[in-house]
Amino acid sequence: MYLGAYIEGFPAPITFVRMKVKSVRCFCDIVVDLETLFRQTGDIPWVVGLSGGKDSTAVTMKMLETLENLPPPIRRRKKCYVTCVNTLVEAPPVINHVHNFITELRKYVENRELPVEVVELTPEPEQTFWVNLIGRGYPTPVREFRWCTDRMKIRPQTKFIEDNLDIFGDPPVIHFLLGTRYDESNARKLTMESNTSLGTDIHAHGTMPTAGVIRPIEDWNTENVWDYLLTPEWGNGSPNPFYEINQELAILYKDAASGECPVIFDPSRQTCAGSRFGCWTCTVVEVDNSLREIIGSGRDDYLTNELTQLADFRDKLRNERNDPKNRVQGRNRQGRVLVKRDGSVGVGSYTMEYRKHLLDELVKLNDRVREELIRPDEIMNIHIIWAEEQANLAQLTSEALVEGE
């Protein structure tokens, strides 16, 4: 099926194609034809966000496979980027795998002379997890107050775009390749269906009007993803260059899901789809089963004792979040009164005493494990925020005394 579309900010007209898969190794009936999209969208850059999980890894590989199938003069028309955000609190086994994958990825694109740049990003020094939690006293993230995603994941990506407007344009014209799939969950399916389509295979970006979103594996299920990652050969018959390192990824998922194999063709059996990888500090979930299951696997490489200490500290953060003695009652960090809509007094940030306690415990934990849990610049920023906060409170107190005279 061919559909032509004129898209504001994009070369026009653009032709979009969906094609039947010929490879017997992939069980998905329909995939996005990235080769045609590459040819028809001119020099609009492609950006893949690599988290290190199975879906973003598959999308990264699909992009590379697409480039390999294009003649060199055509592939050089478009600049492609693979961005990876390290939140600085990633689970050690996961970030270690990501670093290994990025190393292999850089070697591959360099050896194959592909127009791909791999970019590692981190949160701004004043917006890291520990600076917000211990410095500013933000309560640990929960579903209703998930401050971490924006500050630690979205902003680094946005800053990367803003710092490279000479490449992306102003306003930026980009195509983001995402690993979102209808099969992930009903909530994900509804979100994807609500996104406006700018053409058969390009969708509107939620916050960038001139950007588009391509979802190369949107129709795949979990088995399709694993089948693609663990296939020794690509569709063109060439060896899968990431076959071996993807075996390591499969082991990570396997350990995080109580030993279940990631490639399962019997729908009645459990897959690793429920495994959650990300920050070891995550308190959005009540229990971090994935981290505990990795610990339970007993692999030496996972430093079981150290991961147990991290998991215990994470549980401490969640269990102590709403303890009244750890929270400022009725005032925010600036000392101003907090009043809810119903007129009741609100609960503010963590008390200075509790923040100092957390920093002390974290530094002790940092000394006991081999991973660097908090960097020196984060500790410096925490103390700067504390000093500024104390100065503001002193000024408010002085002003209140003057008014009372």
For 287-307, the pLDDT digits (tens) are 888 888 888 777 655 578 899
Angle at alpha carbon of residue 267, lines to 262 and 273, rounded to 5°: 40
- Cα 293 off chain centre by: 21
Q: State the pLDDT at residue 285.
A: 87
Each domain of the chain, given as residue ranges in start order, spans 2-256, 289-404
Q: Supply the pTM of this predicted model.
A: 0.82
For 300-341, the pLDDT digits (tens) are 555 788 999 999 999 999 999 999 999 998 766 665 656 566
Q: What fold, for 2-256?
A: Rossmann fold (3.40.50)
**What ranges in 50-170 are assigned the alpha helix state H?**
54-69, 72-75, 92-111, 129-130, 147-149, 155-162, 165-168
Nearest-angstrom CA–CA distance, 107 and 120: 15
Nearest-angstrom CA–CA distance, 102 and 96: 10
For 20-44, the pLDDT digits (tens) are 333 434 444 445 789 999 998 999 9
Q: State the pLDDT at residue 160.
A: 97
The residue type at 180:
T
Tell whether the model's pLDDT for residue 121 goes beyond 90.
Answer: yes
For 365-378, the pLDDT digits (tens) are 999 998 899 999 99
Torsion, Cα 308 299 278 85, to 10 degrees, reads 120
Nearest-angstrom CA–CA distance, 360 and 372: 15
